[in-house]
């Protein structure tokens, strides 16, 4: 997974170090079905199948937040309402989708 994003072995090693101890979400059949729904309902563009799976895994596993820098197909103000609608129609809680900077700002607002 990480190697596909970067050919730089040092970058891959740094990412693995950062991710140590963080649980990996299993891509269940339910998550795959939800991802297919995102695509068929055009909530997520067909060319963004991996993004649909990413969102679906977070939703099916009940994550409160989905942090991403992907503002094209995930944290997009035109796409997020459609993602929420599909989640609702499938009876799945939709995580709050935001960038890491937005989550830091949320924390500062509460403190």
Domain that residue 101 falls in = 26-110
**Residue 3: is its pLDDT beyond 70?**
no
Number of domains in the chain: 1
Residue 81 lies in a domain: yes
Alpha-carbon dihedral 20, 54, 101, 70, rounded to 10 degrees: 120
Residue 20 lies in a domain: no
Residue 53 lies in a domain: yes
Confidence tier at 105 by pLDDT (50, 70, 90): confident
Cβ neighbours of residue 92 closer than 8 Å, sequence gap 6 or more: 34, 59, 60
Digit-coded pLDDT (tens) for 41-85? 999 999 999 999 999 999 999 999 999 999 999 999 999 999 999
Residue 18 lies in a domain: no
Alpha-carbon dihedral 15, 16, 20, 22, rounded to 10 degrees: 70
């Amino acid at each position: 997974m990480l190697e596909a994003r970067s050919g730089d072995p040092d970058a891959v090693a740094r990412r693995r170090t950062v991710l140590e101890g963080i649980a990996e979400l299993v891509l269940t059949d339910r998550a795959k079905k939800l991802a297919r729904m995102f695509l068929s309902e055009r909530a997520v563009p067909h060319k963004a199948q991996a993004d649909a799976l990413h969102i679906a895994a977070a939703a099916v596993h009940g994550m409160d937040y989905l942090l991403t820098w992907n503002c094209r197909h995930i944290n997009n103000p035109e796409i997020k309402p459609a993602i929420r609608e599909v989640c609702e129609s499938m009876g799945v809680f939709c995580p709050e989708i935001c960038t890491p900077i937005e989550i830091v700002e949320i924390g500062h607002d509460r403190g």
